[in-house]
Structure 1
Amino acid sequence: MAVFVVVIATFDWNRAKPMINERASAAIGRPFAINGDLSVQWQRQPGEGGWRAWVPWPRVIANDISVGNAPWAKAPHFATLKRGEFSLAPLPLLRQRVVIRRIQLTEPAADLERLADGRANWVFTLPETGEPSPWVLDINEIGFDKGRVGLVDEVLKADLTVLVDPLGKPVPFADVAGASFVPQDASAPPPRDYVFGWKVDGKFKGLATKGEGKVGGMLALQDASQPFPLQADVAIGGTRASVAGTLTDPVNLGALDLHLKLSGASMAQLYPLTGVTLPDTPPYSTDGHLVAKLQNPGGAVFDYKGFNGKVGNSDLHGDITFALGAPRPKLTGKLSSKLLRMADLGPLIGVPSGGGAQAATDKSKDAPAKPKGGKVLPTQAFRTDRWRDMDADVSLEAARIVHDSKLPLSNLSAHVVLQDGKLTVDPLRFGMAGGTMNATARLDGSGAPLTGRVEMHARRLRLKELFPATEAMQKTLGELNGDLAISGAGNSVAALLGTATGDVKMLVNDGVISRSLMEIAGLNVGNYVVSKLFGDDEVKINCGAADLAMKNGVMTPRVFVFDTENALINITGTANFKDETVDMDISPESKGFRIFSLRSPLYVRGTFGSPDVGVHVAPLAARGAGMVALGVLLTPAAGLLALIAPSTTDENACGPLLEEMRKPPKAPAPAKGK
C-alpha cells in the first residue's frame, strides 16, 4: 500500500497526456491537447468532517490547453486556456458521480465563427453512443481571472471581440438594476449577484459597436429556474441601448425581463438591427419595461410596457408588442401623447421630418429624391419592400398637436394598420381652427406600382383661426368646408398625383382676400392676381366655391368661383399633376353698377414651380355673360350644397350663390347693330 501511495505521489502525469488527449479528442470530435505541463497534487480538505478529512483529494493542474477548430474555420483553435485547475472529490467516484468543488480557469479564449450558409464552429459532431452515461457531473463553482471571446458571424454581419473580467467582489442585483425594478414573475427566486464585467468592441450588422456591462456567475447559467442577472450599455451605429434585468434559462434563451432605455438618431436605424419597419424620425429616446417570451410556441413575443419616450420634441407613452410568427412578424401598440409636433409625426404618414438620420444621410440611397427640372411635388419613393416584412396595428391619441405656432391642432386620433404590404390609416382625425379634419388613407404596396386612395373631410374651419396673422380676417365669422377623394398609382407622392382620379370640393364663406394675405401665405401667383383684380384693397369674399374633377392626373374645375363684394370671379382651365403644368383663365365680372377696373381676364400658364401670370390682350368671347355661364353648373352646385353644414342654423353666404347657380340659364340680349 505504501508503495502504491509513493508511486501515485511521484508519478509523472505528463506520460498520461497522450492517452488523455486521444480520448478527449474522440469524445468531442475535435483535436484536444494539453500542450503544457500536467500535474496532480494531493491535498486534504479541512472542511470535510470525521474520517473523510483524512482522505486526500487530487488537485489537477493542466497548462496550455487547446481545442481544435472546424476544418473550414479561419482561426487555428476553437478555444484555448492558459491554465486550468480543479480539485476532485474521490469518494463520490464510487457512486459514479464526478464532484468538483471549483474549476479555476486562467485566460480562457474562444473564437466563434459562422458562415453565411449557417455552418457554425460551436456545433460539435459528437460520436453516437448507445445508452446514456451513468456518470453524473456536479460542479459547484467556476472562476476565471479574465477571458476573451471573438465572434465572426456572416449571418449577423458581426465581427466582435468580448473581454470578460471578474468584478473583484459580487455586486448585488438591486445596486445595478435599481430598487424600483419589479420582476414580471413575482414567484421567481430573486436574481443572483453580478459577478463578471465585460466589454465589447467591433461591428454588428456592419455598424460600429461598442459597449460594456455586467453578468452573473457561470454556474447561474445552468439553473433554468434561476433568473440570470444581465446589465448592458451598448452603442450600435447611431443607436444606444441600456438594459438591466434578468435572463431566464440562459442556455435555451427562455425569457427576458429588463428595464430598457433606447435612443438614437432615427427609428429607421433600428431596421437592420431588429427587422422592425419604422419610419425615419427625428432623434428619439424611450425608457420602459421589456418582457420577452423567447420560447413561445408561435414565436418569440416582446412586450415593451409603460414606456415613456420622446421623438424630436414630441412625447410618447404607452405599450407596444412585437411578435415573431408566421407569416410575418407583427407590431401592435397603443400610444398617447400630450404634445405632438407635426414635424415629428410626419414620417408616420410619409412626410420627411427634415431631421434625424435622413438629414444626416442625404447622400445615401435612402435620402429623399429631390424633384428635377423645377418640379415641386415630392418624388421620394415609398419603401414598400419593407411594408411586406412585417404587419402592424398601432393607435395614437394626442391631446395637442403643433403644426404651426399660430395654428395649433388638438385631439388627434390615428389608427395605422399594415397587413401584407397594405397600409391603412383609418381614422386620422383631429381638431383644427375650431373645426374638425377627418381623413382615411389606403395604400396597397403588395404589388408594383403602389396604388392608393385618400379621403379627407374638413368641417367648419374658422377663417380667423386659419389666418390669425391677418387683421381683417379676425372680423369675419366665415368658415371653410371641404371634401377630397382621390385615387392613383405610383411609388411616390408625385407619381400618385400624376395618375390621380377623383374629386375635390371646397366652400369658403364670409372671408377676406388681399395682397397682404397672399404674401403671408407665400403665394406669389395669388399676390399678382389679387393685385390685378382688386389693387391693394382688402375685399370681402361672400363665397368661394370649388368643385374640381381629377382624371389621370389632370384637374379640371366643374365650378371654381369667388363671389366678392365687387365682382364675380370665375376660374377655368386645367392643372396637370403629371407634368406639373397649369393652364387657367381667371375671368372677373362686375356686379351691378359697381366700377371694376379690370376688363380682360387673367391667365396663369407654365409650370407649378415657375408659372407665368398675365392679362389677356383682348377680352375672351362671351364677355358679359358670366352669370349665364354659371347657370350651366346646376349639377355641380347641387353637390356643393352638401358642404353647408346642416347642423347649424346660421346663414351661410354661399347659399345664395349656389342657389343662383342652380337656376336655368338665360341667353343674353342681342348686341345692338347685329
Structure 2
Amino acid sequence: MKWIVRIIGILVIMAVIAVVGVLMLPADRIARIASDQLTRVTGRDVKISGDVGMTFWPVLGVTAGGLEIGNADWTDGEAMLSTAQAAIGVDAGALLRGEIRITNVEATSPTIRLQSRADGRANWLFTDADGETRIETGSEAGTATRPITIQRLVIRDAALIYDAEGSDLVSYAGVDLSLDWPDQNGPAAIEASLRPAAQKVDVVATIDAFSGFLNGQVQPLAFEMRTQGGEMSLNGRASLQGAVAGKLRLKTSDTGAFMAALGVGGVDLPEGFGRTIDTSADITLTPDRKLALRELVADLGGNTLRGAADIELNGTPQINAQLQAGALDMRSLTSGGESSGSAASSAGWSRAPIDASGLSAFNGAIALSADSIDLGTLKLGKTRSLLSNDRARMVFELREVSGYGGVFSGEFVMNNRNGLSVGGNLRAAGVEMKGLLADMAGLSRFTGAGDAEVSFLGVGQNLDAIMRSLSGKGAIKVGRGSIEGIDLDNLLGSFDVAGGTTVFDAMTATFAMNVGVLTNDNLQMSLTNFNASGVGQVNLGAQTLDYTVTPKALRVNNDRGLAVPVRISGPWSDPRIKPDLQAVIDLNFSEERERAEERVKQNVNEKLEEELGITREDGQSVEDAVKDELEDKLKKELFKLFD
C-alpha cells in the first residue's frame, strides 16, 4: 500500500511539473506546438505567427497575430486560409475522444480559397497526417474522416475565392460571414454579406445535417438573398458540388440594379422583357451549371410567360424553352419603347434610339405560343412561332400566325452584331389591308382583303433611319375594295376628284424598294365601268408619295376610250389629289390635236407667203422658201459690187 501511495504521489508531482513546464514555455514555442498539433489533426501545414496567446482547458485556444492553413497537395499551392488576426478554440475533451470540435473561429481580413474537382476532391475535407499528408478523395473510400464541428465561425472583411472545376471562378471581396453549428449532426445557420460590386448583398441560409453537406452530400436547404433592386429565395436541397433542386422565387423592382449588385453590370433589358421580374419555378441545377426550369411562371414587367426551359449557364446562357404567353407586347424591341399608336405620324418616324442590347443576353431557341403579339408596326393575333437567337441575331419565325383577318407566315429578323438591322420575308393571305397598312405605314384610305408578300432589309439605330434605308421587293393582290378620298367614277364625268370613294373589284401590283423609296409601274385595277392603271413611288422614309392613277372608260370617245390620269402627291397623311389635264389631252385627243396643229400650221404658212411675197415649191417648207429667197437677194447685191 505504501508503494502504491508513493507511486501515485510521484505521478501527481510529475504531472504538476509537466504542466508548469508547459506554462513556462515562451509564446513562440507554444505556437509551434499548437501548429504542429493542428497540422497532425488536419493534414495541412499550419503556421501561427505574431503575438500568440493560449488556453488549455476546457478549450484549447489560440489567438495569433497571423495564421495560415496550407492547401491540399493537388491544388496550386496557395494557402487555403491566411489571415493577419485569428482566434481558434478547440474543445480539449472532445479532442481526447478523437473528435475535432472547434468551439469558435474568428478571423479578420482573411483570404479563403475553396476548391473542388469533378472527381469529388475538395480542399475543405481533412484527414489525419501520419508521416505523409493524405487528403480524402472520392476514390479513397477506405480513409476515415475525423469528425469535425465548427460551433461558431465569424469572419470579417474576407476575400473569398471559389474554384469549382468546370465552372467559372467566383471571387468576392469584403465578405462578412457568421456560422452557427452547435450540433455536429444538426443544422447550421449561415449569415453573410458580400459586395461583388459597390452594393451590399445579404445572404441567409439554413442547411440541415451540415456535416454531411461539407462531405459533399445533398442536404435540405433554405436560402434567401437580398440586395438593391431585388431578392431571391430557394427552398429545396443542395450540395457543395453545385447541385441544387427546389422551389425558386426571384423578384426584382430593377433588374439592372439587381444584376449590377451581383457584379454583372451593363444589363439594360427592354421594357416588358425583364426590366422588372416576378418569377417562380421548380429548378434543378447540376454541378456543370445546367439549369432545368419546370412549372415556370415569369412576369417580366408586363409580359407573362409560362412553361419550361433548359439553360446552360457557362458564359452566355444557352436556352432551349417551350413557353406560352397571353398578350405579348414586343414594342420595346421594335420601336424604341413607344407605347401607343402607329409608329408613323405627321412628325415622321420615331427617332428614339432602339435599345437592342437584349439580343446579346442569350443564345438558343424558344418555341412560343401567344394569344396575341404586338410588334409595334404589326399587331398579330393567335400565334405559334419559333424565336431563335445566335450571337445577337434573333429570328422570329412565324409558323401559324393570325392577324388582320387573315394568316401570316415567314420570318422577321433583328440583327445587332454590327449595328442594328431588321429584315425578313413575310407573306399574308386573306388579310384586311386597311388595318395592316395603317399600322405599317400610317395609310388608312385603302380597304380590301387580299394576299401580299414582301422581303425587306433596313439598317439603323432608330425607326426613322431604318425606314429611310429599306430595300426589297413585294407583290399585292386584292379582291373587292375601295380607295377613300377619290371618286374615279365621278372623275370621268366632271374631272372633279374631290372627296368620295372609289370602289374596285380587283387590284394587282408588284413593287421594289431602295433607300426607303417604294416604286411601282404595273398597278392594275378593275372597276365596275372601267379599269385603271398606276405608276409612281412612295417615299417610306419621308412619308410622302407621288403616284399617278389613270382610270379609263373603254366605250367612249369613238370606242377609243377616255383616260383621266390623277396625280396623288404630298404627305401621305394629307395628299393632294388632282387630275392631270395635260395628260388627259395627250392620252385621249392626240389625233384631234395633230389635225388642229396641222390646220394652224397651214394657216400660218399661207399668211407668211402672202406677207413675204414668196412662192413655195411642192414639198418645200415655208422656212426653206424664205431661206432660198434671202440667198437669191444676197447674191444679187454681191454681184453689184463688180459692175
Shorter-chain TM-score: what band? 0.5 to 0.7
Q: What is the deviation of 1:561?
A: 5.9
Does structure 1 residue 340 correspond to structure 2 residue 327? yes
Q: Distance in 2 between matches of 1:382 and 1:542?
A: 44
Q: Distance in 2 between matches of 1:325 and 1:481?
A: 46
Q: 5+ residue gaps in structure 2?
A: 1-10, 71-77, 114-122, 136-142, 163-168, 439-445, 487-494, 557-562, 598-643
1:318 equivalent in structure 2: 307
Does structure 1 residue 40 correspond to structure 2 residue 77? no
Distance 1:222 1:240, change over 3 A: closer
Write the letter of the residue equivalent to 1:280. Answer: P
2:120 equivalent in structure 1: none
Q: Distance in 2 between matches of 1:381 and 1:223?
A: 51
Distance 1:477 1:280, change over 3 A: closer
1:103 equivalent in structure 2: 102
1:673 equivalent in structure 2: 596
Write the letter of the residue equivalent to 1:240. Answer: E
1:376 equivalent in structure 2: 349
Match of 1:431 among 377, 399, 402: 402
Does structure 1 residue 604 correspond to structure 2 residue 599? no
Match of 2:231 among 227, 240, 265: 240
Contact 2:474 2:510 in 1 (8 A): yes
Q: How does 1:202-241 map to 2 (within 5 A)?
A: 202=195, 204=196, 206=197, 208-216=199-207, 219-227=211-219, 229-235=221-227, 237-241=228-232
Write the letter of the residue equivalent to 2:367. Answer: S
Q: How does 1:562-641 map to 2 (within 5 A)?
A: 572-576=535-539, 580=542, 582-587=544-549, 589=551, 601-605=566-570, 613-614=575-576, 619-622=581-584, 625=587
The secondary structure found in structure 1 opposite 2:309 is strand
Q: What is the deviation of 1:478?
A: 4.7
The secondary structure found in structure 2 opposite 1:219 is helix
Write the letter of the residue equivalent to 2:479. Answer: N
Contact 2:221 2:236 in 1 (8 A): yes
Q: What is the deviation of 1:243?
A: 1.9
Distance 1:533 1:324, change over 3 A: farther
The secondary structure found in structure 2 opposite 1:673 is helix
Distance 1:17 1:580, change over 3 A: farther
Write the letter of the residue equivalent to 1:376. Answer: W
1:258 equivalent in structure 2: 246
Q: What is the deviation of 1:547?
A: 2.1
Match of 1:87 among 81, 84, 92: 92
Contact 2:243 2:285 in 1 (8 A): yes
Q: What is the deviation of 1:412?
A: 0.8
The secondary structure found in structure 1 opposite 2:596 is coil
Q: 5+ residue gaps in structure 1?
A: 43-58, 93-97, 115-122, 171-191, 360-369, 469-475, 517-531, 627-666
2:25 equivalent in structure 1: 15
Q: How does 1:165-314 map to 2 (within 5 A)?
A: 166=180, 194-200=187-193, 202=195, 204=196, 206=197, 208-216=199-207, 219-227=211-219, 229-235=221-227, 237-248=228-239, 250=240, 253-265=241-253, 280-282=270-272, 283-295=276-288, 300-314=289-303
The secondary structure found in structure 1 opposite 2:583 is coil
Contact 2:379 2:403 in 1 (8 A): yes
Contact 1:241 1:260 in 2 (8 A): yes
Contact 2:505 2:528 in 1 (8 A): yes
1:118 equivalent in structure 2: none
Q: Distance in 2 between matches of 1:107 and 1:485?
A: 68
Q: What is the deviation of 1:309?
A: 2.0
Q: Distance in 2 between matches of 1:153 and 1:619?
A: 85
Q: What is the deviation of 1:333?
A: 0.9
RMSD of Structure 2 on Structure 1 (CA)? 5.3
Distance 1:67 1:591, change over 3 A: farther
Q: Distance in 2 between matches of 1:333 and 1:14?
A: 71
Contact 2:157 2:173 in 1 (8 A): no
Return 433-442 or 535-544, whichever deviates more. 535-544
Distance 1:312 1:456, change over 3 A: same
Q: Distance in 2 between matches of 1:422 and 1:466?
A: 26
The secondary structure found in structure 2 opposite 1:208 is coil
| Post-superposition CA distance 1:78-132 (Å, at most 9, x none) | 364456232255766xxxxx532x2111655454489xxxxxxxx99xxx99943
Write the letter of the residue equivalent to 2:31. Answer: N
Q: Distance in 2 between matches of 1:198 and 1:317?
A: 33
State how many pairs are aligned. 515
TM-score normalised by length of structure 1: 0.61
The secondary structure found in structure 2 opposite 1:141 is strand
Q: Distance in 1 between matches of 2:357 and 2:578?
A: 47
Match of 1:162 among 163, 176, 199: 176
Q: What is the deviation of 1:143?
A: 0.8
Q: What is the deviation of 1:556?
A: 0.8
- Structure index of larger Rg: 2
Distance 1:137 1:15, change over 3 A: farther
The secondary structure found in structure 2 opposite 1:376 is coil
1:394 equivalent in structure 2: 366
Q: What is the deviation of 1:417?
A: 1.9
Contact 2:27 2:53 in 1 (8 A): no
Contact 2:204 2:223 in 1 (8 A): yes
2:479 equivalent in structure 1: 509
Q: What is the deviation of 1:313?
A: 3.7
TM-score normalised by length of structure 2: 0.64
The secondary structure found in structure 1 opposite 2:349 is coil
Q: Distance in 2 between matches of 1:31 and 1:620?
A: 105
Q: What is the deviation of 1:555?
A: 1.7
Contact 2:420 2:459 in 1 (8 A): yes
2:618 equivalent in structure 1: none
Q: What is the deviation of 1:510?
A: 2.9
Contact 1:230 1:247 in 2 (8 A): no
Write the letter of the residue equivalent to 2:290. Answer: V
